[in-house]
Amino acid sequence: MAGGELYMAAPSAIGLMYWGRKALNIPERLPAWDRWLTRLWRPAAVITVLGLLIGGPVFDWLDSMFLAFMMGIGIAIGWRLRTYQPARWVAVALLPGMVLLTVEMLAQPFTKKLNTGAVDNLEGLVILWGGVFLLIARSQSKAITAETEARQAAEQEQRAIATQSQTLEYEVNYRTAALTRQTDELRAALAELQATQDQLIQSEKMASLGELTAGIAHEIQNPLNFVNNFADVSVELVAELAEERTSPTRDRTLEAELLTDLKQNLARIAQHGGRAAGIVRGMLEHSRASTGERQPTDVNALADEYLRLAYHGLRAKDKTFNATLQPALAPGLPLIQAVPGDLGRVLLNLFTNAFYAVQKRQQSGEPGYAPTVGVRTELAGEWLKIVVSDNGTGMSAAVRERIFQPFFTTKPSGEGTGLGLSLAHDIIEQGHGGTLAVASTEGQGTEFVVSLPR
């Protein structure tokens, strides 16, 4: 470079060095070189200050030599980092400038003989060359840096995803284990609840069986009493007849009367014995477990039988209790397909509740009260209805809403399990495809309506 440039080569070299450090990321790629590069600003400052204070060709030459030296370092760094594309472009950018400076310094004693205009043009081309390739190097460096940052960000995101996946996997395993424990606990609780429910259902069945047995015992007692009474009378008639036949003066008319009475007694014994046998057969049928098989069923006979059995079952417990029975059974009802044992349990439960309600109202001491329980059958289109009514204590609206819920009962503790009406509801609706409804007025009475498809 020609003299008189106020010694700007050294500061330019330092600026180029700091630009190159950042562009090529020298602190990370060549840390040992970077420690020396950061100290070169000191000789550059000394050269610049001395050139400004003293000046002269010597300092002009020294300033140019420092710039050429810095370019040489840049070229060396480019060669050292030749696998890094921007570093190669920096070396290509600086090489012509270093060569030109070296030639100028060697030819400085002959400057007066050189064409300074040509030198200036050459310097301009060199500066343009260097600027273009340095810009290319800077652009590539930015692109590579952006790509590296993007890759690092992707890797970091991938690591974060992997960490999150591990965390989620741990949480899933933990929650799965917790859910498994809860499921096991719920299964154990469900098994225990089912066992308890089975016990309560069995208790309800046994309670119903007790009511049925009491009614049967009371029912069977009447024909047995008749059988015993007529048997005793018949024994007396036979003895009297035998005595008459041994008499010297036999009375044929008396013997005929005795034989007639004896025949009538035997007929009555057979009649009441058949009645007792029928009750026993019914008891055996109802004591068997229900098979769930439907068969043609006479609803009128079933309703009448269980009305009396429920009534006598309560009287077996309370001899002082009496009630008016009001059967209103529609004649000529067709047989329907039903499970007699299950339907009988439903009717027995409804009748038992009805007698319990009228008994409680009677015990309240209401003057002029007459306990009444009725059953009515009728055809209503495609439905056969059985209506069980009573004039007992009745139910409130709150009780009516819960009356078919399992384990709900209005009876005192120990008198009911709360399963009777719930089982009856399930038998009618789920077992027979019918409906079981209730209408009641508190203090006046209750009416249950069983509707069965024909």
Domain harbouring 425, CATH code: 3.30.565.10
Q: Is residue 392 part of a domain?
A: yes
Average pLDDT over residues 24-41: 76
The region of weakest confidence among 50-54, 223-227, 323-327, 355-359 is: 50-54
Segment 150-175 shows an average pLDDT of 87
Residues 147 and 209 in one domain: no
Say yes or no: 145 and 239 in one domain: no
Residue 177, domain member (yes or no): no
Determine the longest span between alpha carbons in the chain, in angstroms: 198
5 versus 204: which is more confidently predicted?
Answer: 204
Residue 57 scores a pLDDT above 70: no
Q: In this structure, what token pair is assigned to residue 166?
A: 């591990």
Same domain, 134 and 28: yes
Does residue 174 sit within a domain?
A: no
> What is residue 46's predicted lDDT score, i.e. its pLDDT?
72
Instruction: Give a yes or no: residue 261 inside a domain.
Output: yes
My answer on whether 316 and 416 are in the same domain is yes
Same domain as 376, residue 233: yes
- Asked which of 160, 194, 213 is the last residue of a domain, the reply is 160
- Distance separating alpha carbons of residues 433 and 302, to the nearest angstrom: 19
Structural domain of residue 378, as residue ranges? Answer: 205-453
- Which of residues 95, 126, 160 is at a domain's end? 160
384: in domain: yes
Does 215 lie in the same domain as 115?
no
Whether 216 and 150 map to the same domain: the answer is no
* β partners of residue 435: 451
Length of the chain measured in residues: 454
In this structure, how many other beta carbons lie within 10 angstroms of the beta carbon of residue 299? 23
Q: Could you tell me what percent of the chain has a pLDDT over 90?
A: 15
Residue 3 reports pLDDT greater than 50 = no
Torsion, Cα 302 303 307 313, to 10 degrees, reads 30
pLDDT, greater one: 185 or 53: 185
- Give CA 210 to chain center in angstroms: 42
Query: Is 191 part of any domain?
Result: no
Q: What are the tens digits of pLDDT across the range 60-90?
A: 667 677 777 777 777 787 788 777 777 777 7
The reply to whether 154 and 274 lie within a common domain is no
Within a domain: residue 120? yes
Residues 298 and 415 reside in one and the same domain:
yes
318 vs 387, higher pLDDT:
387
Q: Which residues pair with 368 in a beta bridge?
A: none
Count of domains observed in the chain: 2
The answer to whether residues 251 and 392 belong to one domain is yes
- The verdict on 288 and 415 lying in the same domain is yes
Are 147 and 266 contained in the same domain?
A: no
Tens of pLDDT along 366-409? 898 999 999 999 998 889 999 999 999 998 888 888 888 776 67
Q: Which of 160, 191, 218 is the last residue of a domain?
A: 160
- Rounded Cα distance between 394 and 448, Å, is 11
The whole-chain average pLDDT of the chain stands at 78
- Give the C-alpha separation, 407 to 416, whole Å: 9
Residue 185 lies in a domain: no
**Contact assessment for residue 228 and residue 306, using Cβ atoms and an 8 Å cutoff:** no
